[in-house]
Structure 1
Amino acid sequence: MASLPIELLYGLYLGVLTGFVPALIAWALGFGFKYFTGITIPGLAVVGLGVAIAGLNGGLLALADPSLTASENQVRLTVALLVVLMATLYAHAQGDKMGANLPRRLSFGRFSARTLSADVVELVGNHGQVRVTVAGDVSDVEGYPPLSPELREEISTGEWTFPADLPLDELETRFADRLRTEFDLADVSVALDERARATVAAAPPMSGLSKRLATGKRAVSVTALVPTGVGRGDEVTVVADGDEFDATVLGVVDGEAKKSDPKSSDDAALTDGGSDGDSDADAEAPAPEAVPTAAGGECRATLAVDRRAATRLVSADVDRFVVRSRGVRREFELVNLLRRAGKRFRRLTVREGGALDGSTLGEATVRDQFSVAVLAVRSDGRWSLAPRGEHRIEAGDDLIAVGSATDLDAFAEVVA
């Protein structure tokens, strides 16, 4: 039997030879499961598998043979076994860590994700876009009133273009949001096929004024001398009976619009001897002309005021109607500059077990790995602007990140 140092060296040598394959398999299992599914395999299971593979690869299962446990090779085999155990456990931990930190640009969900056909993609500059067309008639949503023919026709014949690098699920969501925003629809559902043909079901707007009225506000109509150019959304101060009321303009009707036309009244009184029902059916009622802004002078204005001030304002006589300046919104100029540079904003919620859960921004190297910048973090209901590198992120925190659309998508897959 060789001396103890020689036996230890033999054991290390045997452990490295027989432990290479188990360590490689342990790393692959740890990385693969964490990268594709986000699941961490228990270390004990991986170590057991590694020892079994090492036994098949290098004969370490001989340790279970009682005839060899008392042999002169016991020291080197024991050392080799310890080397295999440590190498397997270390490789599994490193694979799991790499799978958690590496941006997941590929996942099992993407294998089954529906995508557009290449035939419908149009190249505009260096980017592809797709033109979505509505196939067939726009259906009604059960439980809602039917759409008007004009609105149905406008949706069917509209031109809708979107980026072509989005999966169909994302395109459906964006198309539905755009229809809901542009036509103020109460509800809408969209289904797209690979040829960018959309099947749309929509519900008409359910209300006008009530949807523009914020919570806790009441709509009050007053007659006053209104400055020229006042329109919906302007912030005003109404002085009535010595009190001042801060309000938001919901709509303005010029005084001339309320005057009746004598000629139209006379014409309406003339009939051809038919019944009242026939005259009502044949007569074409003039459509009221929408006035986006006030022409000035005495007008009827509908205002949104606080609930407590509504009762007092209704019974008061308006003395003055003052428009307040809202100033210049510099933040919109900044957003416009970022959009011109191809940057976008996105709000993300950190998921438990994600790449940022429990780590600081500096440790995660967000800017270097994902090419995005974190502008703000909300933890425990409080926002921190321009967080430093030592700011620690926990699961459930909200992030405001800026970057290109592709980088933000990759960042969201790892973090949110």
Structure 2
Amino acid sequence: MPSLPVELLLGLYLGLLTGIVPAFVAGSLGFLVRYFTGVTLPGFGVVVLALSIASVQGGLLGLVEPTIAQSPRLLVAVLVVLMLALYAHNQGDKLGAELPRRLSLTSIRQRTLSTDVVELVGSVGQVTARPTGEIRDMEGYPPLSPDLRGRLKAGSWRLPADLPLSELETRLEERLRTEHDLADVDVTLDERARATIAAAPPSGSLSRRLSTGHRAVSVATLVPTGLARGDEVTVRVGDRSITGTVLSVRTEIDDERAAIPVSEEPPDDELATDGGDPTDDAIPTPRSTTATAGGPGRVTVAVARRDVKPLLEAESLGLVVRSRGTSREFEAFALLKREGYAVRRLTVGTGGTDGETADEPPASAAVTVLAVRRQGSETGGRRHGWVFGPGIERSLEAGDEAFVAGSDDAIETFVEAVAR
């Protein structure tokens, strides 16, 4: 008969050999029961299950023999099997308790920035997004020009830091598309605000701004000061009035300003007065890049197809800018500001809850919730789902985005209560 140390080693070997399958089954059951029911599987049931599986497995392996059953190694093997099963069950139960029960693709996309890259500007957090790696070309489009690729590579963009990465990616895509007139762009941001960019060069920018059934016509006329792309105008040709939308505008004054180098400054003797201080007239005014300075020039207008010939045949014409009305959004904000209210956008934090309704903040009486957007199946997409004037019947929940109005102090207290 082998000595006691050899029997102990043989028992450890047999326990590890037959305890792998019971441990796997016990861990899986512990996880599934805790995850779906929230109840911990009893330890006695784990012991009975592990011994049953181990006995069946030992019989299949030919380990249940009279010599083994009457030796100390069997007791050691049983103890090893039970310890493995109970440990696996404990780990599976812990995993089932910690794993989120409402896991969806939307929640996976709601990643946020790392706190190391957030910069505080006043009381608002901002982040600077910079490209990482090479600027890739988009499949199905021509390659980017070296100049445009270099400008994108050297660019940096300031973005608010209180938004999820998916929203930041959307904003950066819209900004790049607007600034560089890109045909298409795809941006992926990581937690450190490093942007992976794939872009397509501009193609037919003028024709893409034309609606179906419209044509672009350039006319030489006296351009009103401040005219910009997108303005609605009326072109008067004799007794006829033709309406259209401005696609581009250029005047002689704009050409003269464009010919002056940006770094060019007036001489010192032109800036200095008798007292040595520059006068108000000597300080150069900033140049406008969005609107024209007015004067003689050329305007490209989008008009209906039937109005192209009269414009091309006209010897002289006049240009009148049409009113597009006052923006109701700006009127609403002006009224709130006049009454001493501030408007702020925020995201409700979890506050230690698991999707439960956020506690009512102490300053909620002085703050009005103007609109709420709930992340989930109600939205139907990340850019939809705003509910305006939700009222008291719609409580804020963790993950909601909201616009609130109130005094500065009340909003700060409100944000500290719900946005943590």
Superposition TM-score, scaled by structure 1 size: 0.46
